[in-house]
Amino acid sequence: MEKIKVVVVDDSEETRNNLKTLLSFEKRIEVIGEAENGEEAIFIVKEAKPDIVLMDINMPVMDGIRATEEITLSIPETTVIIMSVQSEQEYLKKAMSAGAREFLNKPFSTDDLIRTIIKTYDVESKRKEISSIPKIKEEIKSKVITVFSTKGGVGKTTIASNLAVSIARLTKKKVALIDLDLQFGDVAIMLNVSVKNTISDLIKEINMLDSDLIEDYLVTHFSGVRVLPAPIKPEYAEYITSSHVEKIIKTLKENYHYIIVDSSASFHETVLASLDISDRILFLSTLDLPTIKNVKAGIDVMESLRYSKEKISVILNKASEQFGIRYKDFENTLKHNIWAYVPEDSQTVITSANKGFPFVMTRTETKVAKALITIASELTNEKEVDVVKEKMTFKKIFGLG
């Protein structure tokens, strides 16, 4: 029988030695390496591809949580077991979100240690066996569209949800809608879908995530749009990282033709990950000075991220020149043309949000619905233009990856 290959990671040499001694009594297990911090751990795991890593949490240089995240994402064949003391419960949660499969509470007995390693290994081997059944899938061409603004309350959620529904109806293709307003997302309410799972539940399985598993976390709106809801509590948002978002979108791309992302008014790393990966950014503004100022600042940031001009489409929501600012002045300030106009229609928009019926389905005769349907058809009819020549990502620019 093949041995279970284990790497031991702890900053205390004494602990590492103890662990090695304890594990030497079990013939199914072989310790093939050790590391004293997260950075070393990643290096060794990449080289040695062990079955199991026993990972301490608090370590100098790089802690066990970051190392776990990196290992889980880039070396899926390796499984992480976290070792934590009772007082580190908060960290433990983070480690599990980062992709650790099991944990051992310190101090643990030899028996606990060995049983946990063997059990985890057996469960993972079974999973791998199941997921290695070859699947034949045709490749699909998919388009990622993020609805963004540097301002809240400008209509991101309204437009993202009605756009998703509209695209699904126009194209009859598969459409996913991700709620990336991680703290205060309200796509599920806007579309009146009942939430079982959210993105927070999904990230617990992030290292196993594939295009089948992700389906368990999506809820279906009656238009056919599949929705990934935001966390049910704002405090859960902090566990979600840019790597998670990247993985989620990439996984959805295998099966969905259109991926629409509703975002929050910030350049949080999760939103940036989505902007990076997007083929198109719908940048919303309204025609009032505070919003214009923020939108201008946002567009400047995107310029410094070297997003091409064609990738960004400015949409003016609640568009009207009657409050003293002219469209031309707005365009001159932003150095961007207005790509589309959506009129203000509180009666239609707010009633539809309160009932959970998208106005692009129920009030198609209104100007606001017509505007959204036009946007949907523009986005779905255009020829595939590769709008990004050289993909510059925020990670590259800010030296984060």
Ligand X SMILES: Nc1ncnc2c1ncn2[C@@H]1O[C@H](COP(=O)(O)OP(=O)(O)O)[C@@H](O)[C@H]1O
Using CB under 6 A as the binding rule, whether residue 153 contacts ligand X is answered as: yes
Residue selected from 5, 16, 66, 156 as contacting ligand X according to rule CB under 6 A: 156
* Residue 19 CB, nearest approach to ligand X (Å): 50
Sign of the four-CA dihedral 353, 249, 220, 195: negative
Binding at 155: pick from Mg ion, ligand X, none (beta carbon under 5-8 Å per type) = ligand X
Residue 96 or 342 with smaller CB distance to ligand X: 342
Residue with tokens 């975002």: 263
Please choose, out of 121-129, 152-160, 217-225, 242-250, the segment that lies near ligand X by the rule CB under 6 A.
152-160
Let me know if 48 is exposed, middle or buried by CB neighbors in 10 A (0-12, 13-18, 19+): middle
Binding at 269: pick from ligand X, Mg ion, none (beta carbon under 5-8 Å per type) = none
Distances, alpha carbon 43 to alpha carbons 38, 322, 335, in Å: 9, 61, 46
Binding at 342: pick from ligand X, Mg ion, none (beta carbon under 5-8 Å per type) = ligand X
Residue 51 or 181 with smaller CB distance to Mg ion: 181
**Residues from 331 through 360 that contact ligand X (CB under 6 A):** 342, 344-346, 349-350, 353
Binding at 191: pick from Mg ion, ligand X, none (beta carbon under 5-8 Å per type) = none
The three-state secondary structure class of 174 is coil
Binding at 363: pick from ligand X, Mg ion, none (beta carbon under 5-8 Å per type) = none
* Residue 348 CB, nearest approach to ligand X (Å): 7
* Residue 154 CB, nearest approach to ligand X (Å): 4
Q: What are phi and psi of 228, to 5 degrees?
A: -105, 105
Using CB under 6 A as the binding rule, whether residue 154 contacts ligand X is answered as: yes
Strands 52-56 and 79-85: parallel
d(CA 288, CA 325): 8
The three-state secondary structure class of 178 is strand
Contact assessment for residue 317 and residue 291, using Cβ atoms and an 8 Å cutoff: no
Nearest CA-CA partner of 262 in 339, 199, 316 = 199
Residue 157 or 274 with smaller CB distance to ligand X: 157
Q: What angle in degrees, to the nearest 10, is found between the helix axes of 242-253 and 64-74?
A: 20
Contacts to ligand X by CB under 6 A = 149, 152-158, 317-318, 342, 344-346, 349-350, 353, 368
